[in-house]
Chains A and B, each alone.
Chain A
């Protein structure tokens, strides 16, 4: 299995288009960082508009690498699913389109193994993409903007996270984001089995994510109680929960705490279940598929 995974990763990283998402992420992050560096004050004023009567915080305290990283994550984790789908949607459909699928399936390797290896390679790709994002969004921001306590605005509340309490939250958030994006990868992977061309699965994946995200965010009671809690898109942004602290009941917060860890874990479980379901369905469909390409 390890040998097959090596072969699959070799194929992925030998292909020039594999590096497009890395370039796109770098470009987007650098654009945001440049924007914040030269006009971060306007952005901070905008997000603190509703609280300006209650709080008056110096800009220098608010704008630092941790806030910049949060802004970047908030922005990109909506677009990054497209980049993940680019590779995951190509895993099977791309091989069918190239005509190489029949060569793969006639090797002495079970179809299940083949699919697990392909999905595994997609997951590794997703992890590397996120590590790259972490490197640029977090560590580069820390270097450019420096570090300090992290100040976040949430509704009419200010979250104040001490500097020493921030970094582990980002590791947890990136870990969660990995699972969230793997769910998108698993969906694209499933759709890839049914197509002979990778454009179809990629477009279908993004369309599904967009439609379900809109549904998740609409506050229609009919869907709110029955459907939304079970949509995977409703749980993709739960990583933000790592930056919401428990209140100490006296107007302050408890360092090292997470306000609603059980909710985050529940969301994580739902995402993992979706991953298992999508991958299982993909393997089942592939085992029955007639390879005519």
Chain B
């Protein structure tokens, strides 16, 4: 299966700053490819290079098997993108904005198609309203409509849930899943909402300071079924002694002060809590943490609570 996106040695300097450093990755057909990294990690710069907004200092980008530098127009006809906070023409209506960008993307949209697209993102009733009257969430949804109007094969979404309420976030999640599973679109999604990425991405890339940290299939990089559990107790000495005597010692990652961090299958949490209570451990709190969040933090920060992973690609 040929890659939809193949990036090799991608580098970008802004003066002295190396925003992206020899980045290589690939996105396969029908992937929902999660692109993760802290602020300033180089995600947006990489996405802008994929969309020819920014010229790479070095490296090659192939999309649909074509070199981006030499086949830019053919490639962009098949790509739709939402880049950060989508800004549209505030003095035009939603309908006019969508029509304008559709025509620039090379299609002749009918009124019916435009209204269908607006309906898909929940803006049909506001089709004739000027964008300056829209909330940020509505602008985001219109941006997504603009990205999808020409039926692209590859969809690049940079923070697509910015400004959306929980229902809006859920709608975008369902839309992404629908585009991938039913319409066989390939998606590259950059997001800070790790809980959302955990639910939708099948492959992912984590970058930090412009470099690739890890890339691979989500289920092979970490176990979504496992979680980190933070135990807060008022008698840490008793708790430490109890853990040393028990099978739970193997799950202990670290402990500091009154807090103990363990890694276990989610299904075992009730047993763990029961054991603590039966042993007379004074439990102040037991808090599960998101596996992707901790995996991400372990790779991108000097977090003392979590064991560091070495660089690897699966």
Q: Which residues of A contact B (CB under 8 A)?
A: 3-4, 7, 10-11, 14-16, 98-100, 102-110, 288, 290-292
Contacts and interface: CB of A to CB of B under 8 A. Distances in A.
Interface in B53-100: 53-55, 72-77, 79, 81, 83, 85-92, 96, 100
Contacts of B100: 7, 10-11
Which of A4, A16, A103, A104 has the most chain B CB atoms closer than 10 A to its own CB?
Answer: A103
Contact of B104 (A4, A99, A290, A292): A4
Nearest to B105: A107
Contacts of A16: 91
B87 A98 contact: yes
B89 A291 contact: no
Interface residues of B, number: 32
A194 B269 CA distance: 59
Given A11-B100, A291-B53, A108 B76 contact: yes
Contacts of A99: 85-87
A16 B90 CA distance: 12
Interface in B99-146: 100-101, 103-106, 146
B86 A103 contact: yes
Given A103-B88, A109-B73, A291 B103 contact: no
B18 to A, nearest CB: 15
11 contacts: A11-B89, A11-B92, A14-B96, A99-B85, A99-B87, A100-B87, A102-B83, A106-B53, A108-B76, A290-B54, A292-B53
A14 B131 CA distance: 13
B155 to A, nearest CB: 12
Given A98-B90, A102-B83, A107 B53 contact: no
B91 A291 contact: no
A93 to B, nearest CB: 14
Contact of B76 (A4, A106, A291, A292): A106
A99 B146 CA distance: 14
B51 interface: yes
Nearest to A291: B53
